[in-house]
Structure 1
Amino acid sequence: MRLGMVLAWVIVLAAFVAGAMFWEQLPEEMASHWNIRGEVDGWMPKFWGVLLIPLVLVGLVLLFEAIPRIDPLKRNVKAFQRWYEVLLVIICLFMLLIHLQVLLWGAGLEVSFLFTIPIGIGILFFAVGMIFTKTKRNWFVGIRTPWTLSSDVVWEKTHKLGGRLFMACGLIALAGAVFQEHMLWLILIPIIASAVVLTVYSYFEYRKEKR
């Protein structure tokens, strides 16, 4: 097994272990959702509060293990396998961060999600932007429009621009930890705008290539 997959499974194990360690300190009903003001507005039984994210992590890692085998462009996935696994590890770390904060909140240490989530998402977006420039055309990971999937050249150009835009989105998202009243917009508006720009860009690059 490659190092990236080993690290991903270690993170999964850490999520289960953390849940076991906090179990006795947690209430029977745990906070599970917070609104835009950082107030709890959703609850779930302790069993699911402790196990939901670890189980999602198991499914995620299994999916990432399967993709290189089932993607019709599997040779392309293997060409950036190391970065593909780095992406998985980063996503797993982000989910572990959320899991730990839910557990800590349940145990009485109420650290505001309005502070930690923008930081986590900012780092995630920035890392995804760096990884985008390393990807090769495939059906599962990356900016998948009809035009990027139809051309290696369009894929590479779109992901070069996408890498820069996602890194910028990451930096803007970090500001949400400071300007918490605008946190949602600092995350959503840049990423939605980037998605629109990249979709249109890939279309025009494809048209340019076919002339």
Structure 2
Amino acid sequence: MRKTTAIITGLILLSFIISIYFYPLVPEAMATHWNSRGEVNGYMSRFWGLFSMPLLITGLAVFYLAIPRTDLTRMNLVKFGKHHEGYVIFLIFFLLAAHLQILLWNTGIRINPNAVLPVGIGILFYYIGILMQNSERNWFLGIKTPWTLSSDKTWKKTNRLGGKLFRIAGIVAVAGIFFPGFEFIFILGPALFIVGVTAIYSYLEYQKELKETESQIKI
């Protein structure tokens, strides 16, 4: 955890250093949002355009690093701690890359976010799949439904399924770059599908477990 904290702290400092460096290079009104066609449709003032992402990264880092200390099932978190820490580091790298793309765009280096965002999110989805497949029951990370939180067996089965589906979703998200204008369908579509499928699956698995338990009690 100390090594992970040091890496994350370094990335946070790097995000602020990059923002300070770009301060005199970007306009007063910064482009910060693009539509599905890659056209700018949102702006921020220079200060918020430069520092909203570093502040977001800082907040997320504090939140995720605090999870092991606040979760009532923290011993379960310890069991897949390296995957949790790897996820936090990768998430920060992803946000830092998105931040750099915004800054470069505002200095005249026009890298289309719709061409690179699906790749970043696809890799993120893939790693989330790995995290899920290695997770143990907890209140913060993984597929959390009333049924997975009530049973270790249902948790494991549901998150193993969700992990496989998210890894596939990561590949689908990357494929979105070949369909300009429809990238977000390739990202949101699979994600919503996984949410629905795993919710139903967790309910069915929990009911199945209850019936098996009742049968054993009767015997």
Q: TM-score, normalised by structure 2?
A: 0.94
What letter corresponds to residue 87 of structure 1 in structure 2? Y
> Using the alignment, how far apart are the partners of 1:190 and 1:71 within structure 2?
29
* Deviation, structure 1 residue 167: 0.5
* Deviation, structure 1 residue 50: 0.6
What letter corresponds to residue 27 of structure 1 in structure 2? P
Range 40-49 or range 71-80, more displaced: 71-80
> Using the alignment, how far apart are the partners of 1:79 and 1:5 within structure 2?
18
Q: TM-score, normalised by structure 1?
A: 0.97
* Deviation, structure 1 residue 144: 0.4
Unmatched 5+ residue regions in structure 1? none
State percent identity of aligned pairs.
42
> Using the alignment, how far apart are the partners of 1:5 and 1:77 within structure 2?
16
Provide Cα deviations, 1:116-140, integer angstroms capped at 9, x if missing partner. Answer: 1101100100111011111110001
Question: Match for residue 97 of structure 2?
Answer: 97
Aligned runs of 1:102-113 on 2, under 5 Å? 102-113=102-113
* Backbone CA RMSD of aligned residues: 1.0
Provide Cα deviations, 1:134-180, integer angstroms capped at 9, x if missing partner. Answer: 11100011100001100111111111111110000000000111212
* Deviation, structure 1 residue 17: 1.3
> Using the alignment, how far apart are the partners of 1:128 and 1:10 within structure 2?
23
Question: Match for residue 6 of structure 1?
Answer: 6
Provide Cα deviations, 1:56-88, integer angstroms capped at 9, x if missing partner. Answer: 111111111211111111111122111111110
Question: Match for residue 40 of structure 1?
Answer: 40
Question: Match for residue 56 of structure 2?
Answer: 56
User: Displaced runs of 4+ in structure 1, greater than 6 A?
Assistant: none
Instruction: Tell me if the contact between 2:36 and 2:182 (Cα under 8 Å) persists in the aligned partners.
Output: no
Instruction: Tell me if the contact between 2:12 and 2:57 (Cα under 8 Å) persists in the aligned partners.
Output: yes
Greater Cα radius of gyration, structure 1 or 2: 2
Unmatched 5+ residue regions in structure 2? 212-219
Question: Match for residue 130 of structure 1?
Answer: 130
Secondary structure of the 2:182 match is: helix
